[in-house]
């Protein structure tokens, strides 16, 4: 009963067990009452304000912030803030961009934010930009209501009874690779021949395969990678740490067009071999921990358009800034 009363830290402000878990005399009298009497007393305390009611969400938090999170934060958030604009908090929205405020509470015509999100898709100034999905009619209505009513951070959701309720959105699945299931027999034969695991990344057959070598890394060498050429387009993740691959193996991997993640920890690859990685246009994560690469090799990675994470622990290379806002470790 005590845990139920203290759930969420609310009722506990009126009834909290004393230290040591033993009830005080007033608490003992309360718990001794029938359940119905306790519930009636709790209701009376809530209505009188003796126990604070749970705060209702604000309109900004429940309706506006999720729109910014879905459509805007990718370009205007903590990682990237084009034009000096961030919309990942109410304070940042109101701070505006390097060009000034982006909205004026109560005035749609003076609100640059609203103008941008209501431009035609063909307009160069429309937001979101770069061909990203535009806001729905309901999302635009929510932002309009919010600005017209003063762009408040504190007004409650209940104060907007006519505001549309956003419909749950199901994002279309983006295939990472061709469907591997028609080639299941071929994949199984390669596993047996080479001695590596070729594991589906998920239950979705177009999510690709993971090359997994952790159970026996010494079985994987340059020749093994060459034998994976027939299914190169199916591989999206290669866990090659502590394997026997060299720079020659990296050349064999240049045709793995859908590779997203590559772990080369404690392998014999060098900076010379990294030039082959330039062909991996979709590579997002690269682990070079405890390898012989240096600044010369890492410089070759600057042209990789999708690279987001790079691990350089135990190498002679210094962290670098890459076009994809690389987080180097």
Burial of 147 (0-12, 13-18, 19+ CB in 10 A): buried
Predicted confidence (pLDDT) per residue in 277-329, tens digit: 888 999 999 999 999 999 998 888 877 888 888 999 999 988 766 554 444 44
Predicted confidence (pLDDT) per residue in 72-126, tens digit: 988 898 878 888 999 999 999 999 999 999 999 999 999 999 999 999 988 888 9
pLDDT of residue 157: 93
Torsion of CA 60, 63, 68, 70, to 10 degrees: 150
Residue 64 in tokens:
């506006």
Kindly state the average pLDDT of the residues 191-205.
93
pLDDT of residue 35: 55
Alpha helices by DSSP H, listed for 86-241, are 90-95, 112-117, 137-148, 184-194, 222-227
Whether the model pTM is above 0.75: no
pLDDT value at 245 more than 80:
yes
pLDDT of residue 24: 52
pLDDT value at 177 more than 90:
yes
Interatomic CA distance for residues 54 and 45, integer angstroms: 13
Mean pLDDT for the chain overall:
83
**What are φ and ψ of residue 89, in 5° steps?**
-155, 160
Secondary structure of 165-205 as H, E, C letters: CCCCCCCCCCCCCCCCHHHHHHHHHHHHHHCCEEEECCCCH
Domain spans of the chain? 2-48, 59-159, 181-328
Residue 271: HSE in the Cβ half-sphere, 13 Å Cα cutoff: 13
pLDDT of residue 170: 65
Interatomic CA distance for residues 297 and 320, integer angstroms: 12
pLDDT of residue 33: 58
Kindly state the average pLDDT of the residues 254-264.
96
- Homologous superfamily of the 181-328 domain (CATH): Ribonuclease Inhibitor (3.80.10.10)
pLDDT value at 200 more than 70:
yes
Residue 110 in tokens:
């003076």
% of residues, the chain, pLDDT over 90: 60
pLDDT of residue 294: 94
């Amino acid at each position: 009963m005590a845990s139920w009363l203290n759930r969420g830290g609310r009722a506990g402000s009126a009834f909290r067990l004393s230290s040591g878990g033993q009830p005080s005399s007033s608490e003992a009298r309360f718990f001794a009452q029938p359940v119905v009497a306790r519930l009636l007393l709790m209701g009376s305390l809530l209505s009188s304000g003796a126990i604070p009611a749970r705060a209702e969400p604000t309109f900004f938090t429940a309706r506006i912030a999720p729109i910014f999170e879905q459509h805007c934060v990718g370009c205007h958030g903590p990682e990237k803030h084009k034009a000096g604009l961030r919309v990942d908090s109410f304070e940042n929205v109101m701070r505006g961009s390097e060009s000034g405020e982006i909205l004026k509470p109560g005035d749609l015509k003076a609100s640059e934010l609203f103008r941008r999100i209501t431009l035609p898709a063909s307009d160069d100034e429309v937001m979101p930009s770069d061909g990203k999905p535009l806001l729905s009619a309901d999302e635009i209505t929510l932002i309009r209501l919010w600005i017209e009513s003063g762009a408040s951070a504190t007004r409650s959701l209940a104060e907007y009874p006519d505001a549309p309720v956003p419909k749950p959105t199901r994002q279309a699945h983006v295939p990472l690779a061709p469907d591997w299931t028609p080639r299941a027999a071929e994949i199984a034969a390669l596993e047996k021949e080479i001695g590596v695991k070729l594991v589906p990344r998920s239950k979705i057959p177009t999510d690709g395969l993971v090359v997994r070598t952790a159970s026996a890394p010494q079985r994987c060498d340059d020749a093994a990678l060459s034998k994976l050429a027939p299914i190169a387009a199916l591989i999206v993740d290669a866990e090659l740490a502590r394997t026997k691959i060299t720079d020659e193996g990296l050349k064999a991997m240049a045709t793995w067009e859908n590779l997203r993640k590559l772990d080369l920890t404690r392998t014999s690859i060098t900076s010379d071999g990294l030039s082959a990685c330039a062909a991996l246009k979709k590579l997002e994560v690269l682990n070079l921990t405890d390898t012989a690469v240096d600044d010369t090799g890492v410089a070759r990675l600057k042209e990789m358009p999708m690279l987001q994470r790079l691990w350089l622990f135990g190498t002679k290379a210094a962290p670098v800034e890459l076009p994809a806002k690389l987080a180097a470790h």
